[in-house]
Amino acid sequence: MNVWRRWLTPVGLNPGVCQYVFKRILIVCMGNICRSPAAEYLFRQRVNGRGIQLHSAGLSAVVGDPMDATVMRLLSESGIDGSPHRAHQLTPPMLLQADLVLGMEKSHVDAMVELAPAARGKVFLIDKWVDGRDIPDPYRQHHTVFVRAYEMIRRAVDSWVGYL
| Cβ partners under 8 Å of residue 94, min gap 6 | 26, 55, 57
**Is the predicted pLDDT of residue 42 greater than 50, yes or no?**
yes
Q: What is the dihedral of CA 154, 150, 76, 54, to 10 degrees?
A: 60
Q: pLDDT tens digit string along 92-122? A: 999 999 999 999 999 999 999 999 999 999 9
Question: Domains, the chain, ranges and CATH?
Answer: 20-161 (3.40.50.2300)
Structure pTM?
0.86
User: Helix, strand or coil for residue 31?
Assistant: coil
Q: Average the pLDDT over 69-77 and give the result.
A: 96
**What pLDDT was estimated at residue 164?**
80
Active site residues: 29, 35, 137
Task: Work out the mean pLDDT of the chain and round it to a whole number.
Answer: 89
H-type alpha helices, 11-142: 35-46, 69-77, 92-97, 106-115
Please report the DSSP string for 94-113 in residue order.
HHHH-SEEEESSHHHHHHHH
Longest dimension (CA), the chain: 51
